[in-house]
Amino acid sequence: MFKKLNDATEKPQVWSAYTADLLWTDTHIAKQMLAFHLNPDIEAASRSFSFIDESVDWLVNEFGLNAYSKTIDFGCGPGLYTQRLKSRGIGTVVGLDFSENSLRYAKQQAEQAGWRLSIVLATTLTIKKQERLI
């Protein structure tokens, strides 16, 4: 019986290996993943934009975030939460991710909006690069 239960709860082969690094660091695949992330009509790689908006509203209200607050968005990807936090007047906002492609997009969006964000490229072990946007 134990073997049956153990086999039934085993991760399927497709989920048995960590693949996020490949999905977000391979140049071609990362571009496709980013396109899925930014498509408001599907939830294939991210949450819906309305869900993200509601989540950020909840964070701001629940924790009383304001112009003096400091926040960090671990795994920020293209900055969907990071941008919304900054647009609500949060003081210091840091986005941290390992995907150069996603962070490039986050940086472009921040520059276009005139937001001051820290965008940090990091692996689980080391911070490779930090950019401060004005």
The contacts of residue 85 (CB under 8 Å, 6+ apart) are 56, 59, 60, 65, 71, 73, 93
> Is 14 among the domain residues?
no
pTM, rounded to two decimals: 0.74
Please indicate, yes or no, if residue 92 is contained in any of the structural domains. yes
DSSP E strand boundaries for 58-117: 70-74, 92-97
**Alpha carbon of 61 to those of 48, 54, 68, 116: distances in Å?**
20, 11, 14, 22
74: number of Cβ within 10 Å:
10
Residue pointed to by tokens 């134990």: 2
The CATH number of residue 114's host domain is: 3.40.50.150
Confidence check: pLDDT of 125 > 70: no
Residue 132 pLDDT more than 70?
Answer: no
Residue 38 lies in a domain: no
Does a structural domain hold residue 37?
no
Domain assignment of residue 2, yes or no: no
Is 17 among the domain residues? Answer: no
- Pick from 111, 44, 30, 113: nearest CA to 131: 111
Burial (CB < 10 A; 0-12, 13-18, 19+), residue 82, is buried
Among residues of the chain, what percentage have pLDDT more than 70? 78
Q: What is the mean pLDDT of residues 75-94?
A: 92
CA 88 – CA 126 distance, rounded (Å):
30
In a domain, 63, yes or no: yes
Q: How many domains does the chain fold into? A: 1
Kindly state the DSSP code that residue 11 receives in the 8-state scheme.
P
Q: What range defines the domain where residue 62 resides?
A: 48-132
Confidence label for 32 from pLDDT (cuts 50, 70 and 90): confident
Residue 122, in any domain of the structure: yes
